[in-house]
Amino acid sequence: MRVLKDIAVTVEERAPGQFFWLLIEAVDETGSDALHYRALRGASSPQRSYSTALTLGALELRRTTGADANG
């Protein structure tokens, strides 16, 4: 089983009023002072508000990391 680490939720407004959540994971870029991330998964349909997209992304993060199963 793959171990996930350093995962964050972000929200993109791809068009006015269309917000998509995105789970991103830090990747090791040895020798770089910058933080680098890759997309893990994202919303397939937009939400009408930033806060709704963020909430749905946070729920997906909990499912992805098994937080719901662990309490």
**Does the predicted TM-score (pTM) go above 0.75?**
yes
Domain boundaries, the chain: 7-70
Reference 44, options 20, 64, 8, 61; nearest CA is: 20
Q: How many other CB atoms sit within 10 Å of the CB of residue 48?
A: 10
pLDDT averaged over the chain?
88
Q: What is the pLDDT of residues 12-69, one digit of tens each?
A: 999 999 999 999 999 887 777 888 899 999 999 999 999 999 999 999 999 988 866 5
Ranges assigned E (strand) in the chain? 7-15, 18-27, 36-42
